[in-house]
Structure 1
Amino acid sequence: MSTRWYPLYQKGGPQLRVFLPNFWMKLVRPPHAQPSNVVVFSCSMEMTKYDIKNYMEKIYNVKCADVRTRIHMPKTRREPTQGYVIKDDDIKYAYITLMKGEEFQFPDLFENIENKEHEDHEKALKQAKEGYQEFLNKNKDRQNMPGWFTV
């Protein structure tokens, strides 16, 4: 399950008993619509279905009803200047079906940022309108004078 080696015991030195697996999983937004109880992960190519199920149950305490995997093979392309063929690394996707009654929804991470940007734009627009109105009020008595000729 892991390719890391424990360091050899040396007299007087502490023994390290930490288990760090080489496996990793990354939550991915699926390209097509999925049922609400299906979650898609990109995972290490060495992981099997059983490893994925154990990983989810032991580390995240998430019960899995079913685990399906597929290996995505990316497109090949020619390098423009040299002309040789390039192929990106394969990606293994795990489709995890949660137990009945459980649902997963992606968190909306950028909702507040969009609202804040919109509020900032509204505030700047309001300040610009107020500044223009102040400029007009300042120069309303000088009909024939240019606007740049203000004191």
Structure 2
Amino acid sequence: MTSRLARLWQPGNPQRRVFLPDFWMAVIESPSVGRNKLPRNCVKFEVDPRMSRHDIREYLTKIYDLPVRDVRTEVQMGDITWNTKLDHQYKKAMWKEEDKKIAYVFMSKDFAFSFPQMFAASEEVVELAKMTKQQEELKEKLNEQYANRNRRVGQFLAA
């Protein structure tokens, strides 16, 4: 589906033309831990609301040559802004955000996706990580001095 019109053919012009779809897709970062964690071979996209599962599969396989195994979609309702509390009761919305269509694309089993690192870590974050690592090492050294190494585990002391 494209909204672009083909130019009129004139003698001498080539016949072959490639029309790209007007659809768009954006990769969304999903949580790496917790309840909403996705498998390694799953990628979460926000897609054009007009796209179907078949369109998403064709888009990824033909344009990007990805090994798509399954596509699942969901429509997330946009936030509703109410003017007063009574507006909610009488269903008088002041504003509603656009709905979003989210696609969960499962690739082949051997495919592993990791969200790209767009920006390098700042120097402050690197320094903070070094300091916390040093603190942990010092804490372990201090703890070794006070740990009771002569304790016999599992045996009761005779009174």
TM-score w.r.t. length of structure 2: 0.62
Residue 8 (str. 1) matches residue 8 (str. 2): yes
- Matched with 1:43 is 47
Output the amino acid matched with 1:29.
E
Give the number of equivalent residue pairs.
117
Output the amino acid matched with 2:105.
I
Residue 25 (str. 1) matches residue 25 (str. 2): yes
- Matched with 1:60 is 64
In 2, the alpha carbon distance for the partners of 1:98 and 1:9 equals 40
In 1, the alpha carbon distance for the partners of 2:61 and 2:9 equals 32
1:6–1:16: 8 Å Cα contact kept in structure 2?
no
C-alpha deviation, 1:11, in angstroms: 6.8
Structure 1 gap ranges (5+): 122-151
Structure 1 residues 94-113: aligned runs within 5 Å: 94-110=103-119, 112-113=120-121
Structure 1 residues 111-130: aligned runs within 5 Å: 112-114=120-122, 116-117=123-124
C-alpha deviation, 1:79, in angstroms: 5.5
Structure 2 gap ranges (5+): 85-91, 129-159
In 2, the alpha carbon distance for the partners of 1:68 and 1:74 equals 19
Query: Bigger radius of gyration, 1 or 2?
Result: 1
- Matched with 1:89 is 98
Output the amino acid matched with 1:89.
E
In structure 2, the CA distance between the partners of 1:118 and 1:101, relative to structure 1 (3 Å rule), is: closer
Output the amino acid matched with 2:100.
I
For the residue of structure 2 that corresponds to 1:57, the secondary structure is helix
1:69–1:95: 8 Å Cα contact kept in structure 2?
yes
In 2, the alpha carbon distance for the partners of 1:38 and 1:120 equals 33
2:80–2:93: 8 Å Cα contact kept in structure 1?
no
For the residue of structure 2 that corresponds to 1:47, the secondary structure is coil
